Amino acid sequence: MSQEENVMTINGLKPLFQVYDVRKSVAFYTEKLGFKLDGTYEPDGHLYWASLVKDGVEVMLNACWEDNERPDSVDPQRVRGHGDLELYFQCDDVDAIYEAFKSNGLDLNPPSEQHGRREVIVTDPDGFRLSFHT
């Protein structure tokens, strides 16, 4: 390995989602998907950023707007656009993940075979698609 290759090592990926309501998204990721809250930024009691972890995987959530600038409702065009992004979470047992998500109250389709992978797809409150696969 050349010195340049060694310097260019990448050790992970931490996606940052721009979300409508950080508290609502934190509740979804913790209560429905089993993530744990790892850190927050909430000056004056306003939650603007959160870090969530599950089994060494980290997802960050960031407020799209300041609280006083946030529209009264989610912009459907923005949510539709988020569907163009899909994150793939590799797991050991898709069926166990599916059953856990169902028992946590998620309404979702059973696992299916897609492109040689068995997967279950979840859409979060902001329209981001999350695929859990083996």
Is 29 among the domain residues?
yes
The CATH number of whichever domain residue 51 belongs to comes to 3.10.180.10
Q: What is the mean pLDDT of the chain?
A: 87
Is 89 among the domain residues?
yes
Measured CA to CA in angstroms, residue 65 lies from 13, 46, 62, 68, 70 at distances of 24, 11, 9, 8, 5
Give the domain range for residue 119. 13-67+74-133
Is 21 among the domain residues?
yes
Identity of the residue numbered 7: V
Is 48 among the domain residues?
yes
Asked whether residue 26 carries a pLDDT value surpassing 90, the answer given is yes
Is 5 among the domain residues?
no
pLDDT digits (tens, 9 = 90+) for 68-99: 666 666 666 665 555 567 899 999 999 999 99
Is 88 among the domain residues?
yes
Is 2 among the domain residues?
no
Please count the structural domains in the chain: 1
Q: What's residue 127's pLDDT?
A: 86
Which of residues 117 and 81 earns the better pLDDT score? 117
Confidence of residue 49 (pLDDT cuts 50, 70, 90): very high
